[in-house]
Amino acid sequence: MKGAQRAVNFVECVRGQAVGGCIRLAPWNGVSARGGLCGRNDVHPGVAADFNRRAEWLLRCGATPTFVFDGARLPAKDATAASRALRRAKAFADAEVGSDAEPCVADLRAAVKIEWGMVQLLIAALRTRGFQYVVAPYEADSQLVHLCNTGCIDAVITVDSDLVVLGAKTIYFRVNYYTGDAVVLHRKDLGSADEASNVEA
């Protein structure tokens, strides 16, 4: 529901607060046409650099970040996981038969699977720098809502409107890590459950 969303300056809003964010590694930073795919358990320098840049930015904002990683796959999503595996395999096959000069970057991106070893490397980096992190039992979204609604964090940063339906108290969408512009949604400002399900993230 657009009426419940407000454009804000993220930096001004979160100074002194604890904020949580879901960490889903961005595979498009880990592939290139000429370089191909990273090793099975490697984090591409572009992924690590982007991750560190955002983490440090949150600190400069005066916020205390908590990073939440997805845990085990939900059994109910086995069929979805199998479908995604097939799409990745097809994308990799398409990349192999691409141009002689260089494979299609879009296909390489679509073929990437985030391995647990990649996540472990980032967790090790978080520990080294003293950042707080949580590995959710299953999906990070539900864990973020729990942390927010129990007072462990004050707000959630996300691009996923599922957190509205799950009932997070305060959510920041479309955070611009250069300008500080963002859109905030407070659960108390929402109308009925039907209206909440129509929010645009």
Residue of 199, 195, 108, 111 lying closest to 158 (CA atoms): 199
Q: What predicted TM-score, i.e. pTM, was given to this entire model?
A: 0.73
All structural domains of the chain with their residue ranges = 2-196
Say what the pLDDT of residue 86 is.
86
The answer to whether residue 23 scores a pLDDT higher than 70 is no
φ, ψ of residue 34 in degrees (nearest 5): -85, -35
The answer to whether residue 186 scores a pLDDT higher than 70 is yes
**pLDDT tens track for 130-175:** 888 899 898 888 999 999 999 999 999 988 888 898 999 999 999 9
Residues 6+ apart with CB under 8 A from 38: 30, 31, 44
How is domain 2-196 classified at the CATH fold level? Rossmann fold (3.40.50)
The answer to whether residue 117 scores a pLDDT higher than 90 is no
Q: What is the 3-state secondary structure (H, E, C) of 138-171?
A: CCHHHHHHHHHHCCCCCEEECCCCHHHHHCCCEE
**pLDDT tens track for 31-62:** 333 333 334 445 555 666 777 788 888 889 89
Mean pLDDT of 1-27: 80
- Write down the mean pLDDT value for the chain: 77
- Contact between residue 190 and residue 176 where contact means Cβ atoms under 8 Å apart: no
Say what the pLDDT of residue 26 is.
46
